[in-house]
Amino acid sequence: MTSLEFTSQVQRISLTLRPAALNLTRDADDAKDLVQETLLKALLNKDKFKAGTNLKAWLYTIMRNTFINNYNKITKRSSNIDSTEYFQYFNTDQNYITHNGATSDFVVRDINEAIASLGTDYRTPFMMYYIGYKYLEIAEKLQIPIGTVKNRIHIARKDLKAALQVYAPVGASAADVSEAAED
């Protein structure tokens, strides 16, 4: 499929994206933005589209994933708790505050040891994910399937939770900590 054919098919299908975007966003302006962002991503990633597959479904998937990512960004930003009214009760005079750096040093050392104890096959994808790489980027850099990347990161997290169980909240079982970390 040539670029011209791809672009004309995307343009033809773009008219059907608007109602679905409106259904997702419930706002006309946000729907327009979502369709525009979807089309931009599709055109920038046209090399990833495989000829003979369903272009309309591919565009809808891009739109849905874009909507979900934007929604997650918004909810993470707005989930901060405003606790400024409680700060008035804190004594902010530095003369009265002591810090026990030894405890945090122990924790950091234990975390670093737990990470170091992971096998290289698990540590490398986990650390790449931790510093901000996306699954697909990790898979491409390490030249392994994306499913393997996800599995290795999952196993690394599970092993780290088990190794750092001593830092779990008092009264929490391993299952409770595991469920909380998954959220």
pLDDT by residue (tens digit) across 39-69? 999 999 989 988 888 999 999 999 999 999 9
User: CB of 63 within 8 A of CB of 21?
Assistant: yes
User: CB of 153 within 8 A of CB of 137?
Assistant: no
Same domain, 123 and 45: no
Kindly list the distances between the CA atom of residue 106 and the CA atoms of 25, 65, 100, 172, in Å, as whole numbers in the listed order.
Answer: 47, 40, 11, 21
Write the CATH number for 105. Answer: 1.10.10.10
Same domain, 105 and 69: no
Per-residue HEC secondary structure of 100-129 comes to CHHHHHHHHHHHHHHHHHCCHHHHHHHHHH
Write down the pLDDT at residue 183: 46
Q: Among 10-24, 34-48, 65-79, 152-166, whose mean pLDDT is lowest? A: 65-79
Domain boundary among 49, 81, 113: 81
The vertex-53 CA angle with 50 and 54, nearest 5°, equals: 130
| Best mean pLDDT range from 89-103, 123-137, 156-170 | 123-137
User: CB of 135 within 8 A of CB of 146?
Assistant: yes
Same domain, 27 and 98: no
Which residue segment(s) compose the domain that 47 sits in? Answer: 1-81
Note whether residue 89 is domain-resident: no
Write down the pLDDT at residue 175: 55
Same domain, 17 and 65: yes
Q: How many domains does the chain have?
A: 2
pLDDT by residue (tens digit) across 74-107? 877 665 555 555 555 555 555 555 556 666 777 8
Backbone angles phi, psi at 33, to 5 degrees: -60, -40
Note whether residue 88 is domain-resident: no
Same domain, 113 and 77: no
The C-alpha atoms of residue 126 and residue 150 are separated, in whole angstroms, by 9
Note whether residue 86 is domain-resident: no
Same domain, 25 and 100: no
